C-alpha cells in the first residue's frame, strides 16, 4: 500500500500546489522523483516524529494540506501529544499516513507493532480513523481526504494485498443466501473473510474502512435483520472496531443482538515472528477464523 499511496499523493500534488508530503525515514531514493519535480511539496525530515507533526500543523495553518508518513507506532506513541494538541484540537488538514499497522513488523518485536492505535487515538478531537483493505481502497480514501477538511489517520497493511473487486460506494458484501449472520471487519481482514465466505456461505460481510466516526444510522440499518454479529479485526479487543460497534448497539434498539469479538485479545503481545505466524498464534489466520465463525453462528 505504501508505494501506491505515495504515488497517489504525488499525482494529487501535481494538480494541487497546496498539497505537501513529509516523510520520516523512507529509505534512500524513495522521493527522488518527487523532490526533483516538486521540490517545495515533498520533504524528508528524518527520525523526528514529534517535529514532523508540529511542522505539518504549521504548514496547515498557512493553507497547506499535509500528508505525513512513517511507521505507525512512531507517530502514534512518540508524537501523541502533538497529534492531539497541534493537529486534532486545531482541526487542521493533516493526514497521518502510517505503515506497519497491526502485526506487520512482528519480526522486529512489540516496539514496532501497532495493535492498539485505534484505542490510543480514539479521543483525539476531530480525527478520522481509516483502515483500507488494499491499495485500491487506499487510493480511494486518499482522494477523499484530499478534498475534505480536518485531520485523519490511515493505517496501512503490509503491501501487496490482493485487490478486492467490489463496489467501494457500499460497505456490504452479501453472501449467496439470505441469512441472519453478519461479519463486520476492517483493514486486511476483509480478504480473509471473503475467502471464508466462498466456503461458508451463511453470513454477510460489512466492511468498515472508516473506523471513526462510524455512521450509526448506516450500521443500524445493516444490522437490523441480523441475529448474530461477529466483529473481526487485527486490533486489541478494547478500543477498536468491536468497542465502537458495541457502543452503537447499546445506544440503539438492537441491544438484544448477539455480538462476538474475534481480535488480538486483551493481553500485551510479546511474541516475535512474521505477521502470518503471529496470526496463527493469536487465532486470526484463515483456518482459525473459519472455525471460530462456525462456532459463533452454530
Task: Return mean pLDDT, the chain.
Answer: 92
Q: How confident is the model at residue 45 (pLDDT cuts 50, 70, 90)?
A: confident
Q: What is the pLDDT of residue 158?
A: 83
Place of cell 466462498: 198
**177 or 43: whose pLDDT is higher?**
43
- pLDDT of 25 over the 80 cut: no
Three-state secondary structure call for residue 181: strand
Q: What percent of the chain has pLDDT over 90?
A: 74
Question: CATH fold of 172-297, please?
Answer: Rossmann fold (3.40.50)
- pLDDT of 159 over the 80 cut: no
The secondary structure of the chain in percent helix, strand, coil, rounded to multiples of 5, reads 40, 20, 45
Answer whether 87's CB lies under 8 Å from 151's CB: yes
Quickly count: other Cβ atoms within 10 Å of residue 236's Cβ.
Answer: 22
Tell me the per-residue pLDDT of 264-279, one tens digit each, with 9 for 90 and over. Answer: 999 999 999 999 999 9
Q: What is the pLDDT of residue 207?
A: 96
Tell me the per-residue pLDDT of 64-73, one tens digit each, with 9 for 90 and over. Answer: 999 999 999 9
252/58 Cα distance (integer angstroms): 41
Domain ranges, ordered by start, for the chain: 2-155, 172-297
Mean pLDDT of 40-62: 93
Tell me the per-residue pLDDT of 197-219, one tens digit each, with 9 for 90 and over. Answer: 998 989 999 999 999 999 999 99
- pLDDT of 177 over the 80 cut: no
Strand boundaries in the chain, DSSP class E: 19-23, 42-44, 65-71, 94-99, 128-130, 152-155, 172-173, 181-185, 204-207, 210-212, 228-232, 258-262
Q: What is the CATH architecture of 2-155?
A: 3-Layer(aba) Sandwich (3.40)
- pLDDT of 298 over the 90 cut: no
- pLDDT of 118 over the 70 cut: yes
- Topology agreement, domain 2-155 and domain 172-297: yes
Q: How confident is the model at residue 28 (pLDDT cuts 50, 70, 90)?
A: low
Mean pLDDT of 7-27: 90
- pLDDT of 160 over the 90 cut: no
- pLDDT of 26 over the 80 cut: no
> Would you say the pTM of this structure is higher than 0.85?
yes
Tell me the per-residue pLDDT of 221-262, one tens digit each, with 9 for 90 and over. Answer: 999 999 999 999 999 999 999 999 999 999 888 877 889 999
165/27 Cα distance (integer angstroms): 31
Amino acid at each position: 500500500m505504501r508505494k501506491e499511496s505515495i504515488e497517489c499523493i504525488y499525482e494529487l500534488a501535481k494538480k494541487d500546489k497546496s498539497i505537501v508530503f513529509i516523510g520520516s525515514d523512507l529509505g534512500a531514493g524513495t522521493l527522488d522523483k518527487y523532490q526533483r519535480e516538486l521540490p517545495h511539496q515533498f520533504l524528508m525530515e528524518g527520525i523526528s516524529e514529534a517535529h514532523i507533526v508540529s511542522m505539518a500543523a504549521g504548514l496547515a495553518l498557512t493553507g497547506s494540506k499535509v500528508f505525513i508518513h512513517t511507521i505507525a507506532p512512531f507517530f502514534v506513541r512518540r508524537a501523541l501529544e502533538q497529534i492531539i494538541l497541534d493537529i486534532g484540537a486545531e482541526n487542521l488538514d493533516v493526514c497521518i499516513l502510517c505503515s506497519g499497522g497491526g502485526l506487520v513488523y512482528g519480526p522486529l518485536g512489540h516496539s514496532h507493532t501497532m495493535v492498539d492505535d485505534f484505542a490510543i487515538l480514539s479521543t483525539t478531537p476531530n480525527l478520522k480513523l481509516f483502515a483500507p483493505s488494499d491499495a485500491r481502497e487506499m487510493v480511494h480514501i486518499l482522494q477523499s481526504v484530499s478534498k475534505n477538511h480536518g485531520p485523519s489517520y490511515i493505517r496501512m497493511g503490509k503491501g501487496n494485498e490482493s485487490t478486492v473487486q467490489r463496489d467501494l460506494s457500499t460497505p456490504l458484501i452479501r453472501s449467496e443466501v439470505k441469512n441472519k449472520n453478519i461479519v463486520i471487519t476492517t483493514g486486511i481482514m476483509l480478504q480473509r473473510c471473503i475467502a471464508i465466505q466462498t466456503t461458508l456461505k451463511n453470513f454477510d460481510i460489512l466492511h468498515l474502512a472508516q473506523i471513526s466516526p462510524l455512521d450509526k444510522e448506516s450500521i443500524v440499518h445493516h444490522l437490523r435483520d441480523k441475529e448474530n454479529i461477529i466483529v473481526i479485526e487485527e486490533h486489541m479487543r478494547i478500543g477498536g472496531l468491536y468497542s465502537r460497534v458495541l457502543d452503537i448497539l447499546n445506544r440503539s434498539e438492537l441491544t438484544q443482538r448477539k455480538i462476538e469479538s474475534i481480535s488480538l485479545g486483551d493481553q500485551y503481545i510479546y511474541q516475535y515472528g512474521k505477521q502470518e505466524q503471529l496470526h496463527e498464534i493469536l487465532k486470526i489466520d484463515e483456518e482459525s477464523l473459519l472455525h471460530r465463525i462456525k462456532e459463533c453462528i452454530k
